[in-house]
Amino acid sequence: MKSILVKLTILASFLVAFAGCNEDDELKDTKVTAVKMLYEPSNGKSVVLQSSASATVYFEWEPAKAEDSGMVLYEVAFDKEGGDFSSPIYRMASDNNGGYNHATISHKQLNKIAGMAGVESAATGKLIWTVFSSKGINDVAAAETRVIEITRLAGFADVPVDVYVTGEASEGGTDLSKASIMKSTAAGEFEIYTKLTAGKSYNFTDAKVGTPRKFYSENGLLKEGTTNSTVAKTGVYRIKLDFNVGSTVYTEVTDMQLFFSPTNSFLFSLPYLANGEWKATSKPITFKQEGWGRDERYKIKMTTINSAGETVEEWWGTPNTDSRPNSSSPASYYYLYPVDNSQWNGKFKFAGEMDMALIDMSVLLQAENPYTHSIVKVGNQ
């Protein structure tokens, strides 16, 4: 009998504890009041975003009250002008992980939010904002909403890690998985040598899978959005994107030629193939006989047309080569660097076996590797 009483006592204790847990669970969803007043920023405030990492906007509101007099959690919500916050475009916790009745939001974050609302780079648009209060489960919208006008950065606060070219006009076509990757040349700056087809559309993305961000070029400006770009002329282009200032620069590459220093002349052109490669095949090479020996020096000229329609010659060579390569020469021997247009400066030297030979020559201006070139002997003259 005593054993039964003990068991009943333990069971009763469990039931009391269980009931207490249920009461605690109910308290977790304690009711809170709606925020009655928004303090900062003022309604209709205009903010011109700055690129500085320390630039912020301060948001503040009247505290809400909880039924249990405990802590209230807050989220700042943004929506498009005319929206009702039933599906805000963005929500974020206030300072102190939602515990304070204010939020410090960076210009970088506001730039991103405005972009989500459809405001283009360097453009001005309006958003509405409010505050939700809660105990962590069911939230309550503030009684007030306000408008904030934002002028977005010309550049991008959220710079992509990788950038690709895709679309019908591009070399990879509309298959996103075949998009051409651009070369990162500096922080926020990208470059590619690629062929574009006139009258067809293309754009830039930050990934080649899923649903990536999209960018396009318009009158020299780089913008984010689903608008497509086109070119008026089919050709090979060097495209430079600068996300720091939101700019695009297109340069058409019209010719790639081998310059032979000993004769001060061009031996042949290299036709463009694809993926940043120009290639000439089975071309004869004959060194020039001089009193001191056979001269084999060369470099590469690239002819371009800039955005102003001017023809510009650009030269590729090396700053530090004064000997012939051999089978043990490192790959870096063939790396390409911008050089001047003089006959003798910045020249390469052919390997000895290329004299009186037929060669295949490629110029490779590709994202995956340093800009370089290759020369392969394929026969004798």
* CA–CA dist 111, 356 (Å, integer): 61
Q: What is the pLDDT of residue 263?
A: 97
Whether residue 28 is predicted with pLDDT greater than 80 in this model: the reply is: no
pLDDT for position 183:
98
Query: Which of 26-30, 55-59, 242-246 has the largest mean confidence?
Result: 55-59
- The Cα-based distances of 155 to 50, 114, 208, 215, 369 in angstroms read 10, 13, 22, 12, 27
Instruction: Give the pLDDT score at 12.
Output: 46
pLDDT band at 54 (very low <50, low <70, confident <90, very high): confident
How confident is residue 81, by pLDDT bands cut at 50, 70 and 90?
very high
Q: Do the bridges between strand 235-242 and strand 293-295 make them parallel or antiparallel, or are there none, so unpaired?
A: unpaired
C-alpha distances in angstroms, 108 versus 50, 105, 146, 159, 216? 8, 8, 20, 10, 20
For residue 90, pLDDT over 80 is answered with yes
Tens of pLDDT, residues 299-336: 999 999 998 899 999 999 998 777 899 989 999 999 99
% pLDDT > 70, the chain? 92
Does the structure show a pLDDT above 60 at 2? Answer: no
Q: What is the pLDDT of residue 29?
A: 60
The reported pLDDT for the residue numbered 247 is 86
Q: What is the pLDDT of residue 16?
A: 44
CB 246 within 8 A of CB 224: no
- Phi, psi torsion values for 263, nearest 5 degrees: -105, 0
How would residue 6 be classed by pLDDT, with cut points 50, 70 and 90? very low
Return the percentage of the chain with pLDDT > 90, whole number: 78
Integer Cα distance of 352 and 349 in angstroms: 9
Strand partners, 235: 196
Give 114-123 pLDDT, tens digit per residue: 989 999 888 9
Q: Which CATH superfamily is domain 38-151 in?
A: Immunoglobulins (2.60.40.10)
Average pLDDT rounded to a whole number, residues 232-246: 93
3-state SS, one letter per residue, for the chain: CHHHHHHHHHHHHHHHHHHHHHHHHHHCCCCECCCCCEEECCCCEEEECCCCCCCEEEEEECCCCECCCCCCEEEEEEEECCCCCCCCCEEEECCCCCCCCEEEEEHHHHHHHHHHCCCCCCCEEEEEEEEEEECCCCCEECCCCEEEEEECCCCCCCCCCCCEEECCCCCCCCCHHHCEECEEEECCEEEEEEEECCCCCEEEECCCCCCCCEEEEECCEEEECCCCECCCCCEEEEEEEECCCCEEEEEEEEEEEEEEHHHCEEEEECCEEECCEEEEEEEEECCEEECCEEECEEEEEEEEECCCCCEEEEEEECCCCCCCCCCCCCHHHHECEEECCCCCCCCEECCHHHCCEEEEEEEECCCCCCCEEEEEEEEEC
Rounded to whole angstroms, the Cα distance separating 181 from 375 reads: 25
**Does residue 21 surpass a pLDDT of 70?**
no
Per-chain mean pLDDT for the chain: 91
Rounded-to-integer distance, Cα 274 and Cα 174, Å: 16
Return left, alpha or beta for 272; rule: phi > 0 is left, psi -120 to 50 is alpha, else beta.
beta
Residue 176: name the closest of 200, 210, 199, 150 by CA: 210
pLDDT at 221 over 90: no
pLDDT band at 76 (very low <50, low <70, confident <90, very high): very high
Phi, psi of 301 (to 5 degrees): -110, 135
Residue 11: what pLDDT?
A: 40
Residue 284 amino acid letter: P
Nearby residues of 9 by Cβ (< 8 Å), 6 or more positions away: none
The answer to which of 16-20, 57-61, 200-204, 362-366 has the lowest mean pLDDT is 16-20
List, in sequence order, the alpha helices (H) in the chain. Answer: 2-27, 107-116
Considering only 49-58, 62-71, 121-130, 169-178, which range has the smallest mean pLDDT?
49-58
pLDDT by residue (tens digit) across 137-163?
Answer: 889 999 999 999 999 988 787 899 999
pLDDT digits (tens, 9 = 90+) for 336-368: 999 999 999 999 999 999 999 999 999 999 999
Show me where the domains of the chain are located.
38-151, 164-245, 253-380
d(CA 292, CA 12): 109
Which tens digit of pLDDT belongs to each residue from 181-218? 999 999 899 999 999 999 999 999 999 999 999 999 99
User: How large is the average pLDDT for residues 95-99?
Assistant: 96
Bond prior to 284 in cis (omega within 30° of 0): no
